[in-house]
Amino acid sequence: METNTEKKQIKRIGVLTSGGDAPGMNAAVRAVVRTATSLGIECVGIKRGWQGLINADFVMLTRESVKHILPQGGTLLYTARSEEFMQPAGRKKAVATCRMLGIDGIVAIGGDGTFRGAYELSKEGVPVAGVPATIDNDVDCTNYTIGFDTACNTALDCIDRLRDTMRSHERCSVVEVMGRNAGYLALYVGIAAGATAVLVPEHKYDFQKDIVERIQDSRLAGNSHFMIVVAEGAGSAVEIGNRIKEALGIEPRVTVLGHIQRGGSPSARDRETATRMGYYAVRALHEGRFNVIIATREGGIVAMPMDEAMKMKKHLQMERYRIMETMQLGGLKNPTEIP
């Protein structure tokens, strides 16, 4: 794979985690370290993301130092966002740190913001490889991001528990899940939970049709409890709950799951995917394929040129939305209404 960076031998790499933490980040760090050492490459852990690269906040990593982190949530390297790094002066400091530490390339684990930073650093002559890790699953160039499966399972477990008490008290529950401006998490969890309604930012909803009438239809069919899942980018669960109370005279219980979705031991899928991605990131740098993002595409893992990957656009699979609607009471009244 051709890139614009002049090829050079990789003897020491840095690895960092940046942006929001995601279950499986530690598994990716472990894979980077162990793959690097197997190739005779030294590995430097950069703490606190791009800010840590500016401040030369680092630790040397070995196979021994990462041997127990596979099942751990969070990130042993810590994570942060850095406004300073997004400025030319900040990146100059980061490049100086790379030179001082003898770092020949960087593996950056995170989401879109992390990759924007990595792309800018690559323009300064530092080879980079990105590993997508975010519970939002909103990195455009990849079908899957590390942490998504664990976050879905965490949210689903919470919703199942809420359903138990909603059923006991014959109530309506409105649950807000994370996802930033993407509805992947909400839709996936909504299907798995058999939600009465799911609101996602990619599909403009009609409050009367998509919430009120669904609750009414469900009640007429004999159900006495209802579950509404709201993606944070689609609106406020508190506001939705207030509108339901005003329209139907019932008092919903609102739950905002928040950052609980980021924690916990990563699932088998996230551990396995993180390990493969970390492996391929190091292999790409070792083989001279610089400035790439490691992505899952059509069931496999590929190293995509970063400039190409950053231009891609990812869209919510509306087929899933149609499936969700069909599973709800009464199914689709007019399937053509949903693109």
pLDDT tens digits along 43-70? 999 999 999 999 999 999 999 999 999 9
- Across 64-212, the runs of DSSP E, i.e. the strands, are 105-110, 128-132, 172-177, 197-199
pLDDT at 6 over 70: no
Looking at the DSSP assignment, which residues form a beta bridge with residue 44? 14, 60
Share of the chain above pLDDT 70, in %: 95
- Give residue 336's pLDDT band: very low, low, confident or very high (50, 70, 90): very low
Catalytic residue among 136, 138, 149, 270: 136
What is the residue-averaged pLDDT of the chain?
Answer: 93
> How many CB atoms sit inside 10 A of residue 185's CB?
27
- Give residue 174's pLDDT band: very low, low, confident or very high (50, 70, 90): very high
pLDDT at 153 over 90: yes
Tell me how far apart the alpha carbons of residues 201 and 115 are, in angstroms, rounded to a whole number.
Answer: 23
- Give residue 330's pLDDT band: very low, low, confident or very high (50, 70, 90): low
Quick check: 164 and 119 in contact, CB under 8 A? no
Name the least confident of 89-103, 165-179, 215-229, 312-326: 312-326
Tell me how far apart the alpha carbons of residues 211 and 185 are, in angstroms, rounded to a whole number.
Answer: 19
Same domain, 205 and 108: no
Same domain, 223 and 300: no
Domain boundary at 201, 231, 262, which? 262
Same domain, 141 and 282: yes
Tell me how far apart the alpha carbons of residues 41 and 56 are, in angstroms, rounded to a whole number.
Answer: 20
Residue 339: per-residue pLDDT: 40
Name the least confident of 110-119, 226-235, 292-301, 328-337: 328-337
Inter-axis angle of helices 268-286 and 25-38, to 10 degrees?
40
Same domain, 22 and 40: yes
Same domain, 93 and 104: yes
Share of the chain above pLDDT 90, in %: 83
Averaged pLDDT, 274-278 = 98
> Is 136 one of the annotated active-site residues of the chain?
yes
Domain enclosing residue 225, as ranges: 149-262
Tokens of 278: 């970390």
Nearest to 328 by CA among 179, 177, 226: 226
Residue 335: per-residue pLDDT: 45
Residue 170: per-residue pLDDT: 85
In a domain? residue 289: yes
Quick check: 127 and 164 in contact, CB under 8 A? no
In a domain? residue 246: yes
In a domain? residue 4: no
How many helices, marked H, and strands, marked E, lie in the chain? Answer: 12, 11
Residue 3: per-residue pLDDT: 45
Residue 56: per-residue pLDDT: 97
- The total domain count for the chain is 2
In a domain? residue 7: no
In a domain? residue 39: yes
- Give residue 319's pLDDT band: very low, low, confident or very high (50, 70, 90): confident
In a domain? residue 234: yes
> How many CB atoms sit inside 10 A of residue 148's CB?
27
pLDDT at 315 over 70: yes
Same domain, 193 and 285: no
In a domain? residue 314: no
Same domain, 69 and 113: yes
Same domain, 133 and 220: no
Tell me how far apart the alpha carbons of residues 90 and 86 are, in angstroms, rounded to a whole number.
Answer: 7
**CATH assignment at residue 63:** 3.40.50.450
Q: What is the pLDDT of residues 184-195, one digit of tens each?
A: 999 999 999 999
**CATH assignment at residue 169:** 3.40.50.460
Same domain, 112 and 79: yes
Averaged pLDDT, 279-290 = 98
Quick check: 287 and 2 in contact, CB under 8 A? no
pLDDT at 151 over 50: yes
- Give residue 327's pLDDT band: very low, low, confident or very high (50, 70, 90): confident
Same domain, 202 and 257: yes
Residue 223: per-residue pLDDT: 87
Query: Cβ neighbours of residue 96 under 8 Å, at least 6 residues apart?
Result: none
Q: What is the pLDDT of residues 224-275, one digit of tens each?
A: 899 999 999 999 999 999 999 999 999 999 999 999 999 999 999 999 999 9
In a domain? residue 61: yes
Averaged pLDDT, 210-224 = 91
Same domain, 213 and 154: yes
User: Which residue reads 């928040």 in tokens?
Assistant: 258
Dihedral (Cα; 97, 101, 102, 108), 10-degree rounding:
-60
Same domain, 155 and 304: no
Name the least confident of 137-141, 217-221, 249-253: 217-221
